[in-house]
Amino acid sequence: MKNLLLAVLLLFGLNSFAQVYDENIDGMKQIQEAVAKAKKENKQVLIQVGGNWCKYCIKLHNWINDDVFVKSTIDKYYVYIDVNYSNKNKNFEAMKFLRWPQRFPFPSLYIISNKGEVLHTQKITPLTTKNEYDTEKFIAFLKEWTVFKLDPKSYK
């Protein structure tokens, strides 16, 4: 029976059981490191807040990494991180900095400037069509918050 279970897990992939969020990481330190990297690379920071307990958080993380167009847009314009919120680690300082994401359904997305300013909070629902993540809507959202789009010189 154990061999059958192992075969099924290998056949369907272990990704659905993967731990996306590291519950041991200090979320605020993680954000600060992402901001420093974004500043060096002239990008913004995209944060997905959630936890391994949230099937929708895991689903969004996997979709972002599996959708070639979304992933390439994120890689071009953002430093992307997953920040944990769970019973084991509520990451109080990070949640305070992000203005309490737990007030929204998880997952939630945040755009942080490469100067460390919270620019935007995004619920997931507007980025879906018929309860599925929508590539076009997601990419349009991402492009609205790039360094270029927020640079006044872009509009002269």
Predicted model pTM: 0.88
Question: Buried b vs exposed e over 27-66: b needs ≥16 C-beta within 10 Å?
Answer: bbebbeebbeebeeeebbbbbbbbbbebeebbbbbeebee
Q: What percent of the chain has pLDDT over 70?
A: 88
Supply the CATH classification number for the domain 17-155.
3.40.30.10
Cα separations in angstroms, 83 against 35, 62, 104, 125 = 13, 15, 15, 19
pLDDT for res 143: 97
Q: How far apart are CA 145 and CA 45, in angstroms?
A: 10
Q: What is the average pLDDT score of the chain?
A: 91
What average pLDDT score do residues 89-112 get? 96
Element (DSSP H or E) covering residue 2: helix 2-12
pLDDT for res 119: 98
Contact 46, 110 (CB under 8 A): yes
What tens digit of pLDDT does each residue of 9-18 get? Answer: 444 444 445 6
Q: Is the predicted pLDDT of residue 147 greater than 90, yes or no? A: yes
Task: Give the Cβ contact number of residue 71 at 10 Å.
Answer: 14
Task: Give the Cβ contact number of residue 117 at 10 Å.
Answer: 10
Choice between 136 and 154, residue whose per-residue pLDDT is larger: 136
pLDDT for res 2: 55
Residue for token digits 């070639």?
A: 68
